[in-house]
Amino acid sequence: MVPQELPKVGLFLIGLLIATGADGQQLRSVFPPGGEVGRTGSVTFAAGGLQGMSAARCSHPGVSFTKRDGNAFIVQIEDDVPAGFYDVQAIGTNGITSSRTFFVTTRHHVVEAEPQQGAPAQLVSVNNTISGKITQGDTDTYRFHASQGDKLVIECWADRIDSSLRAILELLDGNGRRLAINRGYFGVDPAISIVIPADGEYNVKLHDLVYTGSDDHCYRLDITTGPRAIFASPPVVEAGRESIVQLFGWNLATPGKQQLAAASQLGKPLAFESTTVHITPTVAKPNLQVHRWHAGHSVDAIPYYLANADAPFPIAVTDARVARARNNRSPSEGQPITVPIDVCGQLTASDENHWYVIEARRGEVFYLEAFGQRIGSPVDLDLSVFDSSGATELTAFHDERQDIGGPRYPSSHLDPEGRWVAPADGNYLINVRNLTGGFVDDPRRVYRLSVRREEPDVQLVAIAQPESPTGINVPRGGRTVLDVLAFRRRGLQASIRVSAQDLPAGVTCPDIWLGPGTTKAPLVLTADRDAAPNTSTLDLIGHVGRPALPIREGENISTVQCATMIQAGLPNGSGRLAADLPFAVAGIAPIRITADGHEPRNHHLFGKLQVRHAPGGVLDVAVRVERAQTGHTAPVTISAIGLPDLIRNQTATIPPGQEKGYISFYLPHSLPVGMYSFAIKAESTVPVAGQEGKTQNVTAFSNSVAFEVHPPVFQLDLTLDTPRKIKRGRIARVNYTVHRINGFISKIHTELAAPGRVTDVGDLRGRGVTSVGQGESGTIQIIANEDAELGQIPFLRLYAVGVLEDEALYHGSCFLPLEIVE
């Protein structure tokens, strides 16, 4: 994307605001939340934490905004913009906001009119799309005329367009008699279908479940006799092949033509109709503008545009063969399937079970995954594997409870998945059932069952790091951090490399690594001091491979999907996939942090050593602090963000007036070999611009620190009798053991050390020990100076180097918690 220039006023103050960690730039509402193809309209943005709102952007280039007074804009939607759902952001002098949904409709778009005291409800026409919002205690009412036999669909979009509204939808006749009511059909969004019983005027009423309201309680209301697809069979198609798909929904029998209803249907809900379509997906990629499926990162989808329908219908895409369930409701009727496969069915009845037969060899590994909630189906699926008779359950898979995304991007879901190893040669039964069938049959209960061998895979998602909705903004001369989430599948444990592409001038983003088994790592964007204020989009790719190998086009590469947090404070979180990941360069950073995890160690025997990290070692990070106002001195507290779970976090303080400090991390023996990344977080104070003597808290982040963990050749440990205190002017003897690994028998030299120092660590001095041959233990004598400063020396440790042909190649350490006392 070509960067867009930002206004250049108040940059220094803005930089302070960006770096302080205060509430971020959140887009709280857009009203109306959509517009009509080929038309212009007025739209108002409401944002928090954004200064000098001056522009807005949309994920589709055919939707543009022109600034008017205040926070109002003229929106222009070009003729070639497809109907659908897009992301918009507001832009100000201090950056860009988080995203909200903006819909585009092909129908006539009507905006709710302010009600007049005593006036009748607003009159609208059938086949209109209405935008409105609910205020505190409000009920919106619309009048429309309909004819007997009209097959009417009334649908409210609220949660699906990022609104806080939990809508209740009612339909009343001209006499005020309620004909229908609904509080949730598409998730929590309501819909009503009805055959109009008589010519006349009707009223639609809409209010919040608990009669609350705000500018964020906006909605889209469709009143139509047009086609509305609701589910598909199968709900997934094979990439690159023409597939016959049966769409089910309302008014589908002859799209665009109204069919007369029988007298017996008047006043009743519409029956489902179906239409058959041919679909050939040419590109299988994460859908960016069609669906708002929960945990949608795991579903590739394309939009299908049904004739005369206003919203695209999402169809999932797979790289495996697709089959349909056929007469398989009991173990004896088990349907044979061949792996790999995606097989689809409907659990219409409340107690319906579907059975499939696979042939397996002893020790063969299968990965089973069912899709229901994640494709918009009203089911809670359960998945089991039985022996060939169906009498003995061998294993069962239930809800996915791991929530890697947390409140920013809730990723736990109701769909079961898991790994199964065949215990012997033979046939086995897979059972699929719905746990929430209820008492009413519902043909919407479709599912997709994927059966694969254990072929490693991953889905990657990037999202802004703060635990509240915010845009991604990089201060000039500073940095900002995103999180990359790794949803590992089918046994993938290897390190994953993530790279940024096509960054604008003045912005850098070094590659990061998610280590073996790691599910989250920080990605750091840095802006040069002379970078031009602008907005752009972040394009990321992931690659599974060895560190020494370059990324080759098309080889083990996956696109990193984008996500955005919508609302804070909800118990289950609020976030979804986003169309893209825009960011802005804005403001000036008052403090810059630079971390170096590869600083050589000066050894009095072996000179400058480049540390080769291994489990059982210590990773030292040198941290430098640069301040925009050099005359201000304050302590800087540092810690890590994005450390692998197995590595314990630490804190350290860089004293006032010093520009450099260290923080160290012990790499446990259980840490898998591979590449990892993390970053350093620094907290301090900076002067408040224009207010002499006043300061404010500031949080800044370092560049990413990548390090490789190699296999160890020895393990260094303290013995149980290690002293915990040493008196001034006295000697302490520290006993240790060295356990050699992988046949290493060369010399191991052990010293006292601290970050940046070996043997002489200030107020303590140690006498090194060399172990040869099969030496397994040793003792280091430590002498404390007479005037040694009381307390502990941060990150004191025993440090050993393994020597091969007189070259120090291997490193190991263990922290020594030794306190200097009187």
Phi then psi dihedrals of residue 15, to 5 deg: -60, -40
Q: What tens digit of pLDDT does each residue of 289-309 get?
A: 555 678 889 998 888 999 999
Peptide bond into 32 cis (omega under 30): yes
Mean pLDDT confidence for 309-317:
92
Retrieve residue 684's tokens: 């301090």
Strand partners, 557: 543
Token pair, residue 631, equals: 């005359």
- pTM (predicted TM-score): 0.92
Q: Is residue 462 a contact partner of residue 561, using CB atoms and an 8 Å limit? A: yes
- Alpha-carbon span 132 to 169, nearest angstrom: 13
Contact in structure between 700 and 480 (CB atoms under 8 Å): no
Least confidently predicted of 48-52, 292-296, 587-591, 628-632: 292-296
The predicted structure's pLDDT at residue 285: 45
Residue 692: pLDDT band with limits 50, 70, 90 = confident
Give the tokens for residue 4: 């867009």
Q: What is the arithmetic mean of pLDDT over 733-743?
A: 91
Q: What are the residues facing 529 on neighbouring strands?
A: none
pLDDT mean over 253-265: 64
Of the ranges 554-563, 600-609, 610-619, which one carries the lowest mean pLDDT score? 554-563
Q: In whole angstroms, what is the distance from residue 383 CA to residue 398 CA? A: 7
Note the pLDDT of residue 771: 86
Q: Is pLDDT above 70 for 40?
A: yes
Cα distances (Å, whole numbers) of residue 156 to 215, 311, 595, 794 = 17, 13, 51, 60
CB atoms within 10 A of CB 704: 26
- pLDDT of residue 741 exceeding 50: yes
What would the mean pLDDT of 683-702 be, rounded to a whole number? Answer: 91
The length of the chain is 822
Q: Which residues, 6 or more positions from 257, have their beta carbon under 8 angstroms from its beta carbon?
A: none
> How far apart are alpha carbons 241 and 247 in whole angstroms?
18
pLDDT at 276: 96
In the chain, the amino acid numbered 581 is: L
Secondary structure (3-state) at 649: coil
Cα gap 619→595, rounded to integer Å: 12
Give the mean pLDDT of the chain.
91
pLDDT of residue 788: 93
Report DSSP letters for 258-281, one per residue.
PPPPPGGGTTSPPPPEEEEEEE--
| pLDDT value at residue 805 | 86
pLDDT digits (tens, 9 = 90+) for 519-575: 999 999 999 999 999 999 999 999 987 665 555 544 567 889 999 999 988 888 899
Contact 637, 681 (CB under 8 A): no
Angle at 424 between CA 422 and CA 428, to 5 degrees: 60
CA–CA gap between residue 158 and residue 219 (Å, rounded): 5
Burial code (b: 16+ CB inside 10 Å, e: under 16) for 397-410 equals: bbbbeeebbbbbbb
Q: DSSP assignment, residue 566?
A: -
Amino acid 218: pLDDT: 97
The Cα 309–Cα 326 span in angstroms is 30
pLDDT of residue 132: 97
The predicted pLDDT at position 19 comes to 39
The predicted pLDDT at position 242 comes to: 95
What pLDDT digit, counting tens, does each position of 493-509 carry?
Answer: 999 999 999 999 999 99
Distance CA 668, CA 813 (A): 10
Residue 165 Cα distances to 121, 206, 214, 368, 550, angstroms: 21, 10, 9, 36, 49
Would you state the pLDDT for residue 291? 58
The model's confidence at residue 5, banded by pLDDT at 50, 70 and 90, is: low
Lowest mean pLDDT across 173-182, 246-255, 554-563 = 554-563
Query: Which residues, in sequence order, are bridge partners of residue 211?
Result: none
Residue 2 has pLDDT above 50, yes or no: no
The number of beta carbons lying within 10 Å of the beta carbon of residue 159 is: 20
pLDDT beyond 90 at 631: no
Q: What is the pLDDT of residue 254?
A: 63
CA distance 3 to 535: 5
Which range has the worst mean pLDDT, 162-176, 381-395, 554-568, 775-789?
554-568
Digit-coded pLDDT (tens) for 657-690: 999 999 999 999 999 999 999 999 999 999 988 7
Q: Pick the more confident residue, 804 or 224.
A: 224
Task: Compute the distance between CA of residue 224 and CA of residue 542 in angstroms, rounded to an integer.
Answer: 43
Confidence band of 639 (pLDDT split at 50, 70, 90):
very high
**pLDDT (0 to 100) of residue 264:** 78
DSSP state of 94: T
3-state secondary structure of 711: coil
Comparing 146 with 258, which gets the higher pLDDT? 146
Residue 623 confidence (pLDDT) above 60: yes
The span from the CA of 320 to the CA of 367, in Å, is 13
> What percentage of the chain exceeds 70 in pLDDT?
93
Angle at CA of residue 98, ends 97 and 103, nearest 5°: 110
pLDDT tens-digit map of 405-463: 999 999 999 999 999 999 999 999 999 999 997 788 999 999 999 999 989 999 999 99
pLDDT at 206: 97
Non-local (6+) Cβ contacts of 540 within 8 A are 460, 462, 484, 498, 499, 500, 501, 523, 559, 560, 581
Percentage, residues of the chain above pLDDT 90: 83
CB-based contact 785:729 (threshold 8 Å): yes
Q: Among all chains, which residue has been given the structure tokens 């050939």?
A: 280
How many Cα atoms occupy the beta-carbon half-sphere of 335 within 13 Å? 19
In a 3-state reduction of DSSP, which class is residue 12? helix
The pLDDT-based confidence of 25 (bands split at 50, 70, 90) is very high
Give the pLDDT confidence score for residue 775 in this predicted structure.
66
Q: Are 482 and 471 in contact (CB under 8 A)?
A: no
- Look at phi and psi of residue 12 and say left if phi exceeds 0, alpha if psi is from -120 to 50, else beta: alpha
Q: Count Cβ atoms within 10 A of the Cβ of residue 432 and give its class: 0-12 exposed, 13-18 middle, 19 or more buried.
A: buried
- Dihedral through CA 75, CA 78, CA 79, CA 80, nearest 10? -130
Q: Is residue 176 very low, low, confident or very high in pLDDT (cuts 50, 70, 90)?
A: very high
Q: Which of 64, 61, 90 is nearest to 1 (CA)?
A: 61
Identify whether the C-beta of residue 639 lies closer than 8 Å to the C-beta of residue 684. no
Give the span between the Cα atoms of 7 and 91, in whole angstroms: 10
Q: 74 - beta bridge partners?
A: 42, 66
Tokens matching residue 268:
């009743």
Confidence band for 23, pLDDT divided at 50, 70 and 90: low
**Confidence at residue 547, expressed as pLDDT on a 0 to 100 scale:** 60
Residue 9, pLDDT score: 35
Count CA atoms closer than 13 A to 278's CA, side-chain side. 2
Q: Each residue of 336-388: pLDDT tens digit? A: 999 999 999 999 998 999 999 999 999 999 999 999 999 999 999 999 999 99
